[in-house]
């Protein structure tokens, strides 16, 4: 299905969220220490089943059971990289969808080269901020501020399209407007609130949520990525109505995601075609 307009996108997002809640796909997350808690709770609140498993010795037995894999290099170390590569390679061989989050990819040569190695295993979706996507698409370092972007998402549209074309992945760029592209079509998801940027690991968590959405419809990864970003953004908007600051928004975001119904989602989704 290819949705057009916010109404159709709202219907599509609800369809995919409902599938996640019905099927409860097992999502293996090899993610950073900072994000594990929020990532697991995001997946649980959406109806998926998270597994925070990163031991190389367990990859051959466990990864084939997962409906999707989420790889996040936020606290990358030499001891974790072999497990990431093994899991990604296994998913590629088995046809299991997997999502790459290249956190602070240009912060070090070790981190940058690790991402280049992981790209060889053909991720289904790449989700990052604008600076990360620009760095990956140009194969060069770009200015970053730790894990924070120094570019706006709209600045990365052409870089995202290029990365999608060269990698074969759907590319999602998080920002004030979330950008998703297959290299030709470009879609913008305009949901969310600025205060979400003050909660650590919201980006990491939405990467895992994208994996859950792709798991239930891997033939339409662009739809899945757009829908996951919109659903997470809508949950943030609803949570913001009760929040007093970042800490309470974190709690209310999870509650809003858990209780999100069709009417609320349909009335809040704001998705447009940008190209």
Please write the tens of the pLDDT for every residue from 124-167: 999 999 999 999 998 755 555 444 445 667 879 999 999 999 99
Predicted confidence at residue 155, as pLDDT, reads: 79
Question: To which H or E segment does residue 83 belong?
Answer: helix 81-94
- What are the start-end ranges of the E strands in the chain? 26-30, 49-51, 68-72, 98-101, 125-129, 170-174, 178-181, 186-189, 271-273
- How are strands ordered across the β-sheet holding 186-189? 49-51, 26-30, 68-72, 98-101, 125-129, 170-174, 178-181, 186-189, 271-273
- Is the separation of the CB atoms in 17 and 265 below 8 Å? yes
Please write the tens of the pLDDT for every residue from 24-39: 999 999 999 999 999 9
**245-261: average pLDDT:** 98
Please write the tens of the pLDDT for every residue from 214-244: 999 999 999 999 999 999 999 999 999 999 9
Per DSSP, 173 falls in state: E
- Is the separation of the CB atoms in 29 and 18 below 8 Å? no
- Model-level pTM? 0.94
DSSP string for residues in 46-62: HT-EEE----GGGHHHH
Predicted confidence at residue 69, as pLDDT, reads: 98
- Is the separation of the CB atoms in 125 and 163 below 8 Å? no
Nearest alpha carbon to residue 192 among 207, 174, 212: 174
Distance between CA atoms of 229 and 198, rounded to whole angstroms? 17
Nearest alpha carbon to residue 147 among 77, 75, 83, 79: 75
Distance between CA atoms of 95 and 49, rounded to whole angstroms? 20
% pLDDT > 90, the chain: 90
**204-217: average pLDDT:** 98
Please write the tens of the pLDDT for every residue from 72-86: 999 999 999 999 999
Predicted confidence at residue 148, as pLDDT, reads: 47
pLDDT above 90: residue 272: yes
- Is the separation of the CB atoms in 173 and 136 below 8 Å? no
> In the predicted model, what is the mean pLDDT of the chain?
93
């Amino acid at each position: 299905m290819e949705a057009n307009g916010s109404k159709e996108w709202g219907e599509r997002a609800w369809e995919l969220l409902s599938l996640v809640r019905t099927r409860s796909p097992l999502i293996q997350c090899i993610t950073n220490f900072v994000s594990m808690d929020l990532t697991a709770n995001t997946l649980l609140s959406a109806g998926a089943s998270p597994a925070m498993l990163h031991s190389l010795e367990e990859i051959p037995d466990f990864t084939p059971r997962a409906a999707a894999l989420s790889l996040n290099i936020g606290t990358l170390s030499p001891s974790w990289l072999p497990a990431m590569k093994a899991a990604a390679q296994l998913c590629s061989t088995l046809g299991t969808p997997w999502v790459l989050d290249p956190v602070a990819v240009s912060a070090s040569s070790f981190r940058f080269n690790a991402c280049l190695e992981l790209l060889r295993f053909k991720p289904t979706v790449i989700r990052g901020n604008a600076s990360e996507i620009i760095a990956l698409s140009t194969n060069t370092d770009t200015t970053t501020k730790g894990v924070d972007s120094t570019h706006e998402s709209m600045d990365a549209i052409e870089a995202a399209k290029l990365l999608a074309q060269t990698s074969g992945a759907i590319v999602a760029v998080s920002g004030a407007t979330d950008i998703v592209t297959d290299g030709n079509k470009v879609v913008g998801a305009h949901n969310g609130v600025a205060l979400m940027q003050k909660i650590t690991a919201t980006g990491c968590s939405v990467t895992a949520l994208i994996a859950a959405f792709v798991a239930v419809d891997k033939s339409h990864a662009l739809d899945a990525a757009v829908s996951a970003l919109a659903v997470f953004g809508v949950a943030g908007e609803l949570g913001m109505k009760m929040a007093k600051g970042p800490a309470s928004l974190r709690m209310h975001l999870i509650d809003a995601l858990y209780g999100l119904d069709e009417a609320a989602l349909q009335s809040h989704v704001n998705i447009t075609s940008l190209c």
